[in-house]
Amino acid sequence: MVMMEGWSQTTISPLLPRSLIASLFIFADKSFVNLSQKSKLLQLLRYTFVTSFLFLLRLLPPLNPNNNQQYKPPNKNASNHTSDHYDYTPASFSGGATITGGGDSAIARALSQLLSLVNDIPVSSRKYQVVRSLAENLIDDNHKEGVEALRQVNRTVLSAAFSTTLSQLEAAAILEQQGEVLRGDGVDLLGNARPVEYRWSPVLRVVRSIRDVSWIRETRASGTRSSAEKLAAEVLWLAEKLAACDSADEAVRRWAAAFNLARLSLSVEPRLQASLVKTSALLFKHAKQLGKDEADDGIKKEQHKQTKMQMLMSWLPLLCKASNGTDVPVLSIAERTELERVLEETIEMLEDEENQEKVLSLWLHHFTHSSFSDWPSLHASYARWCNTSRKLLLHHHA
């Protein structure tokens, strides 16, 4: 699994002893619970064992190396950041994320703060829309001025925010998929989806809750306090803003490289999948435009081809699986038709026959195994590739 931005070995390692001990206990208790029903003495022994275990587990310190880090103000004497330098640093107290990389200007710092707050504030709060509107107005005003310095502020800060939110989204998707995330009041999100033996055993429920809380405490510094669905909506919003600021290529590159999130997207809940499909559809359209600048040299064009290949291999399976949505299709008929055309043209731009084969084989596998959707239809691209391959074979044997 690809290591996520904002995660480190020192952050994850303290979690391993707790998870290992809890897993061993759950395994032992599942075997012991059947035996204990046959004898009151065994029931008493089991009760003593469980109580002792929970007491010892609570004594384990909630190790979190990030909690001991003190806030360090930015060094104004340091060299200027380049446009592609951005950091994701844990906040010292709130557990949120600080987005940096916009330079030393006051307007850049203001936009960075607003976008950080958008990440941090729950969407249910009445202040969420206030902060988001302030950020949108600031971005729009910077763009309307027509000054390159202000537009560069938009591009740099939005790129940093997109990177940070994407990292948070991947972490939240992992935790939610594993059933590790609890609501703020401690309610189990999975509910009846839990295994039967877990729902029937209060002991297992307590142990699982302790482990869940431990995971959440350790990962709040990575921004996973927000739900994955909220973060996915913000990723889409940031991608739209980057596109409006003529910097969609940055979002395309990062989205194409999000291999782990793309893999997780196939098994997350449908509402989250819908947001990921919309983001993929938007960025596929902009990915097609990469490499059309005549000023690009050979190395740059090859990089663009690699990005297109990554986009197709990462996100095409999700399009095959999740385009129908829960109640209505995620995309309209017109949007689907347009995106099919974009996908076909993008595949043609790969030029290399072997890469086209990889993409079309991947599409065919997920297209035929999806019981919920018959889209996207890339039959024409597949037929063209077959014809080209046939001609190449005949040419080699002529």
Q: Which residue has the tokens 């040419």?
A: 395
- Hey, which residues does 99 pair with through a beta bridge? 88
In angstroms, what CA-CA distances link 100 with 8, 96, 134, 281?
19, 13, 18, 28
Q: Which residues of the chain have pLDDT under 70?
A: 1-40, 43, 46-47, 49-51, 53-103, 179-226, 294-295, 325-326, 398
Q: Which residue has the tokens 């935790």?
A: 175
Alpha-carbon gap, residue 151 to 155, rounded angstroms: 6
> Which residue type is seen at 54?
L
- Token code pair at residue 244: 């409006």
Alpha-carbon gap, residue 141 to 153, rounded angstroms: 12
Cβ atoms < 10 Å from Cβ of 252: 27
Task: Return all residues near 326 (Cβ < 8 A) that are at least 6 apart.
Answer: 270, 271, 274
Q: Is the pTM of this model over 0.85?
A: no
**Residue 332 Rama label (left phi>0; alpha psi -120 to 50; beta):** beta
Residue 297 is predicted with a pLDDT of: 73
Residue 227 is predicted with a pLDDT of: 86
- Token code pair at residue 93: 């107290």
In angstroms, what CA-CA distances link 245 with 85, 242, 250, 261?
18, 5, 11, 25
Residue 28 is predicted with a pLDDT of: 60
Residue 286 is predicted with a pLDDT of: 95
Residue 351 is predicted with a pLDDT of: 82
| Helix axes 379-396 and 333-350, enclosed angle (nearest 10) | 20
Q: What is the pLDDT of residues 200-231, one digit of tens each?
A: 455 554 454 444 444 444 444 444 446 899 99
By CB neighbour count within 10 A (0-12 exposed, 13-18 middle, 19+ buried), where does 263 fall?
A: middle
Q: What is the pLDDT of residues 71-90, one digit of tens each?
A: 344 444 444 443 343 333 33
